[in-house]
Amino acid sequence: MKQIKVAMVGQPNVGKSSIINAMSNARLHVGNFAGVTVEKKEVRLQKGEYDINIVDLPGIYSLNAYTPEEQVTKNYLLYEDYDLIINVVDANVLQRNLILTLQLLDMNPKMILVVNMIDEVEKQGGMIDAVKLSELIGRPVVLASAKEKRGIDDIIDLVIDEYNTPKERRKIFYNEKIEDEITSLQKILLKSPHFTDEDRARFYVIRLFEKDEDVYKEVHDLPIFLEFHEALGKSMHRLQLEFDEESVADIIANERNSIAKSIVMQVMQAPRKESLTDKIDKILIHPIFGLPIFLFFMWALFQLTFEVGSIPMDYIDETVTNFADWLKGILPPGDFNSVITDGVIPAVGAIIMFLPNILILFLGINLLEQTGYMSRAAFLLDGFLKKFGLQGKAFIPLVSGFGCTVPAYMAARTLKNPKDRLITMLVLGFMNCSARLPVYVLLIAAFFPTHSAGNVLFAIYIGGAILGLIVAKILRIVLFKGEPEPFVMEMPPYRFPSMKALAMELWIKTKLFVKKAGTFIAGAAMIIWFLSSYPVNEKLVTTYEQKIELAKSEQEKTQLQNELAAKNLENSYLGEFGKAIEPIFAPLGFDWRMSVAVISGLAAKEVVVSTLATLYAVGEADEKSSTLITKLRQNVDFKAAIALIIIIMIYSPCVAAMSTFYAEIPQWAWRTFYTIYPNVLAWLMAFGVYNILALLGY
């Protein structure tokens, strides 16, 4: 069996995953790239005597990588072993996508160009000449539609043909002056034993013209570096004078744009009639109705998140409780039994019961992205964001923040202006990440009527976003004076989402969530159990055990057992810690248990729920409500619950997110500011709302 390793590359949203899903009899493996939390998808399939392994690399706009995902793709293309590239482009935006194609052709690899979504172009009366396109770029071309499974089998056949064909000659060249400079520098690099391939030497020269730091570091350690560095400076100076440009990178970029435009003019017949996308855009990005429609979609999403997601909650809670009771009867009595059945299982169960809500929220966001509506939302909010001192492209990390703050901080790398990037990162914490959703759902279920739950959840998310915008405006006026840079974004056509791709994304998110609940949160639960179980006051236990033996009814026994549990908890390490920090939170109406839960939320926001479950889940709940909701209603008043929601909404994100911010922003002044200001603001706002509600009689 012959092995063929293929790298699948393309810009974001070109349909790479859809093509992989359309490949019949393929085995999909999902994991992470080594050393980074970037998703890795691989497909293995067999045809004849060939075993083909296709690695679906994260989307990348160009080899000038800015995000961790783009860096992973770039590193893979430059340093990993593979036999050929499948470059996927979107037929609707062919010229823009060909920019990356031309960068890949700089390496002169074995490559196949897959023009996806050709059906959408043809439905509008357009056409692409695949034969002519293949002649111009010197590589095989497939016109494909993942939705219609058109051209999918041709891709596999061409992979085998290309693998068995000698490397083809280069057909794409730049301006003669640029090529002369490339050739002269290429000869210097080839003096080094490090370079045995002319194509690689040529590619490195082009990358150095574009100021690629990774390539520069590699060349810097070579013996010929001094000679090469001097020659590179002279070449760049000559090109700057020749083209009257300050940057050689801009010269190369302009060349690629010109080549891409020329290719599209020769191979593509543009659609003749008004597309369905144009008709829909007249409504959805209408200058007056566009924004209210977007807000309605978001409101509907949060209604669904709560109304539908709450249906299975009691069933999951009951199942977890029954499982813990069953296990308690099987395991031998003692500390191990207690830590598993009283600590880990209730804590993990308290998180898993919110899985339906989180999946519905992810499904909604994925639908917005796959249909092409997300970029319309960015367009609608561009002018709005500028009023608050944010750059238009900040919408991308801000929306990412509703999923997880860690990738949202990384997505802020796309903001080139340092001020715009920093101000965006400082307010990303106000975008409520999915980890906070379980806390909100729990508190809303406990303190608000069911019919208004979706509206309350929507208000929390919108309130956090509005507060973030207000803070951004204040920061822009006080600390970041000046206007944000303008931004341009090309909008993809609307398309029906792939059900298979949606299902796959939700499956991956479910696995990651359950893995997190089963490891990190379980570990945190064990620590909290230990701190809440020790030290044991033997004298107190003996006294209560004697009282329990003498109790005349089951109700009296249960009451005494609950009293013993409460006093043991109060005298534990966790109780002592909670009492030590209680004065900080007492003005907000928090008892020591809520204070401990807030602190534990700095590890991960989901842990707030599991901590409350550990600290409050004593005694039995009635059959109509979960144990934890019942205990919260008994122990927490309404205004303290609202103060807790405000704290969760504003204070510092989890340790992972804070670490990411520190890694992205090296200045200690901004790190210190970022660490302090949201916590002070959270306390002050919670204090203000708590006292306003007290005056109103709550």
What string of DSSP letters covers 244-283? T-S-HHHHHHHHHHHHHHHHHHHHEE---S--HHHHHHHH
454 appears as a binding residue in the annotation? no
The 3-state secondary structure of 173-219 reads: CCCHHHHHHHHHHHHHHCCCCCCCCHHHHHHHHHHHHCCCHHHHHHH
pLDDT at 219 over 50: yes
d(CA 57, CA 73): 6
pLDDT top residue among 95 and 528:
95
The mean pLDDT value for 418-443 works out to 87
Contact 593, 612 (CB under 8 A): yes
The overall longest dimension of the chain from CA atoms, in Å, is 100
pLDDT over 90, % of the chain: 18
* Torsion angle, alpha carbons of 99, 104, 108, 109, to 10: -140
Predicted local confidence at residue 678, as pLDDT: 93
- The helix/strand/coil state of 84 is strand
Mean pLDDT of 438-457: 87
What pLDDT is attached to residue 296?
84
> What is the helix, strand, coil percentage profile of the chain, to 5?
65, 10, 25
27 DSSP β-pair partners: 44
Predicted confidence at residue 339, as pLDDT, reads: 75
The predicted model gives 119-138 an average pLDDT of 88
Q: What is the reported pLDDT for 351?
A: 64
More confident residue, 561 or 11: 11
- pLDDT at res. 407: 62
Q: Output b/e per residue, 590-626; b: 16+ Cβ within 10 A.
A: bbbbbbbbbbbbbbbbbbbbbbbbbbbbbeebeeebb
Q: 21: annotated binding-site residue?
A: yes
The per-residue pLDDT of the chain, averaged, comes to 81
The whole-number average pLDDT for the span 399-411 is: 71
The answer to whether the annotation marks 663 as part of a ligand binding site is no
Please give the average per-residue pLDDT across 519-533, as a whole number. 70
The residues that bridge with 269 in the sheet, in sequence order, are: 127
pLDDT of residue 622: 32
Percent with pLDDT over 70 in the chain: 86
The pLDDT score that the predictor gives to residue 102 is 93
Per-residue confidence band for 470, with pLDDT thresholds at 50, 70 and 90: very high
**Whether residue 26 has pLDDT greater than 80:** no
The mean per-residue pLDDT over the stretch 280-308 comes to 78
Phi, psi angles (nearest 5°) of residue 437? -55, -45
Known binder of ligand: residue 58? yes
CA dihedral 450, 456, 460, 462 (to 10 degrees): 130
Tell me the pLDDT band of 141, cut-offs 50, 70 and 90: very high
Say yes or no to pLDDT of 488 above 60: no
For residues 166-189, average pLDDT = 87
Res. 653: pLDDT tops 70 = yes
Residue 116, pLDDT > 80, answer yes
Secondary structure element (H or E) that encloses residue 28, with its range: strand 27-32
22 known ligand binder: yes
Reported as a pLDDT band with limits 50, 70 and 90, residue 619 is very low
118 is in an annotated binding site: yes
- pLDDT value at position 245? 84
Per-residue pLDDT at 661 exceeds 50:
yes
182 or 329, which is more confident: 182
How many CB atoms neighbour CB 646 within 10 A? 25
Tell whether residue 656 is among the known ligand binding residues. no
* Cα end-to-end distance, the chain, whole Å: 74
Q: What is the dihedral of CA 430, 435, 438, 444, to 10 degrees?
A: 0
Check whether 87 is labelled as a binding-site residue: no
pLDDT in the model for residue 621? 34
Q: How does strand 111-116 pair with strand 39-47?
A: unpaired
Backbone phi and psi for residue 210, each to the nearest 5 degrees, phi listed first: -95, 15
Looking from the CA of 427 toward its CB, the CA atoms found within 13 Å total 27
Does the pLDDT of residue 643 top 90, yes or no? Answer: yes
Name the H helices within 498-654: 499-516, 522-533, 538-550, 554-570, 573-585, 592-600, 607-616, 627-635, 638-650
- Where helices occur in 331-372 by DSSP H, the ranges are 335-338, 345-352, 355-371
What are 127's strand-pairing partners? 269
396 is in an annotated binding site: no
| 542 is an annotated ligand-binding site residue | no
32 — pLDDT class (breaks 50, 70, 90): very low
pTM: 0.55
- Quickly tell me which residue has 């045995």 as its tokens: 196
Tokens of 167: 């490397």
Is 636 known to sit in a ligand binding site?
no
Contact between residue 68 and residue 55 where contact means Cβ atoms under 8 Å apart: no
pLDDT at 467: 93
Q: Is 14 annotated as a binding residue?
A: yes
The architecture CATH gives domain 2-164: 3-Layer(aba) Sandwich (3.40)
Report cis status (omega within 30 of 0) of the bond before 535. Answer: yes
Domain ranges, ordered by start, for the chain: 2-164, 176-269, 294-535+572-695
Q: Beta strand pairing status for 2-10 and 50-56?
A: parallel
Q: Is 332 annotated as a binding residue?
A: no
338 marked as part of a ligand binding site: no
Q: CB atoms < 10 A from the CB of 514, how many? A: 14
| 11 known ligand binder | yes
CA 193 to chain centre: 42
39 is in an annotated binding site: yes
Encoded tokens for 694: 């007290």
Reduce the DSSP state of residue 491 to 3 states and report it.
coil
pLDDT at 436 > cutoff 50: yes
CATH number for region 176-269:
1.10.287.1770
**Is residue 629 pLDDT above 70, yes or no?**
yes
> What are the residues whose beta carbons fall under 8 Å from the beta carbon of 550, sequence distance 6 or more?
none
- The answer to which of 257-266, 565-574, 673-682 has the lowest mean pLDDT is 565-574
Angle subtended at Cα 359 by Cα 355 and Cα 365, rounded to the nearest 5 degrees:
150
Q: Is 17 labeled as ligand-binding?
A: yes
DSSP 636: -
- 84-90 and 127-128 as β-strands: parallel, antiparallel, unpaired? unpaired
531-576 confidence digits (pLDDT tens) = 777 787 888 878 887 887 877 787 777 777 767 776 777 778 877 8
452 is in an annotated binding site: no
pLDDT at 15 over 90: no
Distance CA 659, CA 131 (A): 51
φ, ψ dihedrals at 84, nearest 5°: -160, 170
Asked whether residue 37 is marked as a ligand-binding residue, the answer is yes
Q: Is 418 among the annotated ligand-binding positions?
A: no
